[in-house]
Amino acid sequence: MSKTILVTGGSRGIGRAVAILCGKRGWRVAITYVSNDAAARETVAAIEAAGGRGLAIKADAAKLDDVAMAFDATEKAFGAVDGFVNNAGIATQVSKLADKDPQEIARLVEINVLGALYGAREAARRMSRSRGGKGGVIVNMSSAAARLGMPGEGVDYAASKGSMDTLTYGLSKELAPEGVRVNAVRPGMIATDIHAAMGAPDRAERLGKTVPIGREGTADEVAEGVVWLLSDAASYVAGAVLDVTGGR
Ligand code: NAP
């Protein structure tokens, strides 16, 4: 069955890979992004080249009005959202917590915690059957950091992802009776731009060697798990947190 999917932070990295894989299934895919217009355009072209329909929406996940606007624009172009991928996220510069910049921590919490809650809230309002919705699926993008803690590098980031797991456990129970399945994916060390943004461009390759599988993962490998959770093949899966970590 064809679906309408909204992926936050879909212009680059894991969100982009999810969007393109949804496109391969022939689904309609809206992506949000915050600043990189060129990357967003390229992702839409890749979704369409893969066989789907694509739409890019500039919307800051941390702004409530932008979140509502992104759902409105998606519904207008493609119909009601069947799958919401709560993916937009950032990390702070690698350091111990005592040395972190408080402003960076504030922005992290705004996007990774507040933004994720805004996104999940909006999806719940629109998908819940008791509110006139037709059900759906939410996939929250957590991280292995939620259970590893990232000591010395990013305990602030790890704590923000711990909130994704907890959100998933609670909301999955709240929304299952509403026809909405809520799950999470916990990627491990994945080669994307996020490591350079943390000031450690070689991080995924370097730490990938310590992963039981012996290497870092790819965004495409994470996307496989996300798209499975979005699909009807996962119709009895709710409240699950899927590790895509190479055994880490
Ligand atoms: P990335 O390559 O840095 O891409 C980040 C994406 O999020 C971009 O599309 C960016 O848009 C968008 N974005 C950033 N801030 C946003 C905001 N306020 N509103 C809307 N979109 C925003 O990151 P990634 O590695 O793919 O990470 C994606 C998710 O996976 C994050 O939640 C991250 O925490 C999680 N994760 C990543 C890893 C890893 O190793 N890579 C591991 C575990 C979990 P622009 O292009 O406009 O900047």
List Cβ neighbours of 77 (8 Å cut-off, separation of 6 or more): 28, 30, 55
Task: Assess contact for 81 and 71: CB atoms under 8 A.
Answer: yes
User: In this prediction, what percent of the chain has a pLDDT beyond 70?
Assistant: 100
Provide the pLDDT for residue 119. 99
Instruction: Say what the pLDDT of residue 151 is.
Output: 98
Identify whether 157 is a catalytic site residue. yes
Residue 1 above 90 pLDDT? no
Residues 86-110: what's their mean pLDDT?
98
Say yes or no: domain 4-244 is CATH 3.90.850.10.
no
Please identify, by atom number, the ligand 1 atom nearest to the C-alpha of residue 157. Answer: 34
Q: In the prediction, which pLDDT does 179 show? A: 98
pLDDT of residue 153 exceeding 90, the answer is yes
- So what's the pLDDT on residue 152? 98
Mean per-residue pLDDT of the chain: 98
Residue 159 has pLDDT above 90, yes or no: yes
> Average pLDDT in the 98-116 region?
98
Dump pLDDT digits (tens) for 188-230. Answer: 999 999 999 999 999 999 999 999 999 999 999 999 999 999 9
Q: Model confidence over 49-67: pLDDT tens digits? A: 999 999 999 999 999 999 9
Contact 93, 100 (CB under 8 A): yes
> Which residue's alpha carbon is at the smallest distance from atom 33 of ligand 1?
89
Ligand 1 pocket list (CB less than 6 A) = 8-15, 32-36, 39, 60-62, 87-90, 111, 141, 143, 187, 189-190, 192-194, 197
* Token digits of residue 97: 């917590």
Set 33, 118, 157, 236: catalytic member: 157
Please report, to the nearest 10 degrees, the dihedral formed by the alpha carbons of residues 111, 238, 154, 98 taken in order.
80
Enter the pTM of the model.
0.99
Whether 101 has a pLDDT exceeding 90, the answer reads yes
Contacts of 5 (CB under 8 A, 6+ apart): 19, 22, 27, 28, 29, 30, 81, 82, 83, 84, 85, 230
Extents of the domains making up the chain: 4-244
For residue 5, the model assigns a pLDDT of 99
